[in-house]
Structure 1
Amino acid sequence: MALPPKSSIIPPYFGAAIISKQGSAMTPLDRFLQRNSIKTAQGLPLVHSATAYTVRKIVETKQIVSREECKVFAGEKINYFFVGRPAYKKQYEIEGDYWELPACVILEYGSIPIKRIFPFDTGAFDLYPDFIKIMERSSFEATNTSQAIERLIGSFFISPSAYFKLRPRSSSDFERRFNIGVLDEEIKALYKLILSKSGKYDDRRFSIEVQSDPIIALTNNVLAVVFPEEYCESKEYMKWVTSDLNATAVPYQTFPLKKEFYYYAMYEAVLKFYQDRGMVK
């Protein structure tokens, strides 16, 4: 049985939350999204992933704080989110204690100010194949396009379910449906990146990245918190999540496994939450 939505997940105009960048040049991705007739897809919530300890501090203080300057956008303190997916990862070689395991906070779609939108993890750009790495990272920014997220999902994936599972349109459908010429190398490279598989990069190669302010207040905008089951033992922790944040607690089971193996548990927990709310199939 689908749970009733906490509030409207899709705002009538997501672009209203975007910080204006008047005067900045249109990027190749902006031009593709704006010149084509694209059936927009429903968006998914915004996911902020971190260690379980960091998420514990987030739910306790009711705010997400970026404490360090970004290495990609030098001199800026930025909070990063991915649309729909708990895609942020670190490589681990050993087992970890429960507070070291991955966790995430799921926020309502369109509930935070947007600074930049990219179709992939900008921090991993240098790990991507040469066919796209020879291009400028900035060529793939889509902040100037209204409903950029819905258009990205609609054009490359058709539906939020397909986006969540990284299942793009067929190449024949993509090329037939959209106006893509010989000078649209960036769009072709972006589509090719979705199909690429390597140990160097994963689902972050097309996880829509949303950058926001260095401090995000959690004020009735949290849908769920995903965390290791050990935190269920704390009445205080559960109060922070379910009462103070008015969010759904989504614990996952833990086993004697390497920390990186828990990303599957995160995906499974997030998918189940979305399915219960009717966001994806």
Structure 2
Amino acid sequence: MLKQERVAVTPCDTFTGENLAYFFHGRPAYRKFHKQPQDWELPFVLVLKSTCLLNIRRIFPFDSGAFHSARLPSYLSRFDETGYEVSSHAGAVDLLVDIFFGGDASYFHGKAKSREEVSRRNGLNIRYAQVLALCSLYNREQLEADDRTLAIEVQTDQDVSIKDNLLGAVLPRSYFDDSGLKKYFKERGVQVRQYDVYPINTEAYVSIVYEEVKAIYKKLGLING
């Protein structure tokens, strides 16, 4: 990926027949579980500019894969997914963050506004049940899935250039110590953070990765809290 300096679209098993690349806005939420991971199975995060996508295919306020695989509560999944796809609305991501979280720091930490507060400030009633269901999801009501389901998802159907768009990276020490990678990041002025490797499963690294991404955001002046 770094050699080609792009994130390439690949065949999608959710939206079949489409070649897509997926991104989570603002949070290093995506991951796969490995009980005894090899170093190359550990979390590796690339922080890209929000303007890196030339064409946005879809925006969902949650993980669409979790929606399709019935990992979200029934109070939300009973609605049609198209009602939650908001890419046609200008500034959709910023609106989602503002309405349901109040700011980037709260969104990053997953501190959502209560359903009562969102309803009061936006004049919502039962006729806006689909929006209220999203409030309930962000407040983790009856939610058994983890933070992957709660991040804003952005899809594109075009390859995404990393060149001039890469702001930061979080990687295991084994990658951090690689001379070729060090040179690559240094030449491009990328903020790099590393974490040590232990004999633990991949979930045990989640909070470490969040903290390192947060450190990058603070260094770049993108978040205050």
- Are the equivalent residues in 2 in contact too, given 1:78–1:214 (CA < 8 A)? yes
Q: Does residue 111 in structure 1 map to residue 52 in structure 2? A: yes
Which residue pairs with 1:265 in the alignment? 208
- Find out whether 1:278 has 2:192 as its counterpart: no
Which residue number corresponds to residue 173 of structure 2?
229
Distance (Å, rounded) in 1 between the aligned partners of 2:119 and 2:178: 53
What residue identity is the alignment partner of 2:47?
Answer: I
* Superposition deviation, residue 214 in structure 1: 4.2
Q: Which residue of 1 aligns with 2:27?
A: 85
Aligned to 1:240: 184
Q: How many angstroms does 1:104 deviate by?
A: 1.3
Match of 2:88 among 144, 149, 165: 144
Structure 2 residue matching 1:183: 3-state secondary structure: helix
Match of 1:253 among 183, 186, 196: 196
Q: Counterpart of 1:143 in 2: which secondary structure? A: coil
Q: Aligned partners of 1:233 and 1:270: how far apart in 2? A: 19
1:39-54 alignment to 2 at 5 Å?
none
In the alignment, is the contact (CA less than 8 A) between 1:59 and 1:241 conserved in 2? no
Q: State the 4+ residue runs in structure 1 displaced beyond 3 angstroms.
A: 197-200
Which letter maps to 2:135? Answer: Y
Tell me how far 1:233 sits from its aligned partner: 2.2
Where 2:59 maps in the other structure, the secondary structure is strand
Structure 2 unpaired stretches of 5+: none
Query: 1:204 offset after TM fit, Å?
Result: 2.6
**Alignment coverage as a number of residue pairs:** 221
Task: Name stretches of at least 5 consecutive residues in structure 1 with no aligned partner.
Answer: 1-57
Contact in 2 for aligned 1:226/1:269 (Cα 8 Å): yes
Q: Is the 8 A contact 2:114 2:139 kept in 1?
A: no
> What CA RMSD, in Å, does the superposition of the two structures yield over aligned residues?
1.6
Under a length normalisation based on structure 2, what TM-score does the superposition of the two structures give?
A: 0.92
Distance in 2 (CA, whole Å) between partners of 1:98 and 1:70 is 26
Which residue number in structure 2 is paired with residue 211 of structure 1?
Answer: 155
Q: Partners in 2 of 1:127 and 1:79 — Cα distance?
A: 21
Change (3 A) 1:96 1:205: closer
| 2:38 alignment counterpart | 97
Note the C-alpha offset of 1:205: 2.9
**Deviation (angstroms), 1:73:** 0.9
Is residue 44–residue 170 contact of structure 2 (8 Å, CA) maintained in 1? yes
> CA–CA distance in 2 between the matches of 1:206 and 1:232?
29
| Alpha carbons 1:194, 1:205 under 8 Å: kept | no
Q: Distance in 2 between matches of 1:130 and 1:170?
A: 19
CA 1:197/1:88 → structure 2, altered by over 3 Å: closer, same or farther? Answer: farther
- Do the aligned partners of 1:80 and 1:210 also contact (CA within 8 Å) in 2? yes
TM-score (norm 1): 0.74
Q: Secondary structure at the match of 2:23?
A: strand
Q: C-alpha deviations, 1:142-201, integer Å up to 9, x for none?
A: 111101111110100001000001111233321111021322111011101111266741
In structure 2, the partner of 1:192 is 136
Aligned partners of 2:43, 2:142: CA distance in 1, in Å?
A: 22
Tell me if structure 2 keeps the 8 A contact 1:60–1:240: no
Distance (Å, rounded) in 1 between the aligned partners of 2:115 and 2:76:
17
Q: 1:198 to 1:259 in 2, by over 3 A?
A: farther
CA deviation after TM superposition for structure 1 residue 89, in Å: 2.1
| Aligned equivalents of 1:60, 1:202: Cα separation in 2 | 32
1:91-116 deviations in Å (ceiling 9; x for gaps): 33x22121110111111112212221
Residue pair 1:66, 1:79 contacting (<8 A) in 2 also: yes
* Paired residue secondary structure (1:61): coil
Contact between 1:142 and 1:148, CA under 8 Å: does it hold in 2?
yes
Q: Distance in 2 between matches of 1:202 and 1:183?
A: 29
Structure-1 separation of matches of 2:6 and 2:80:
33
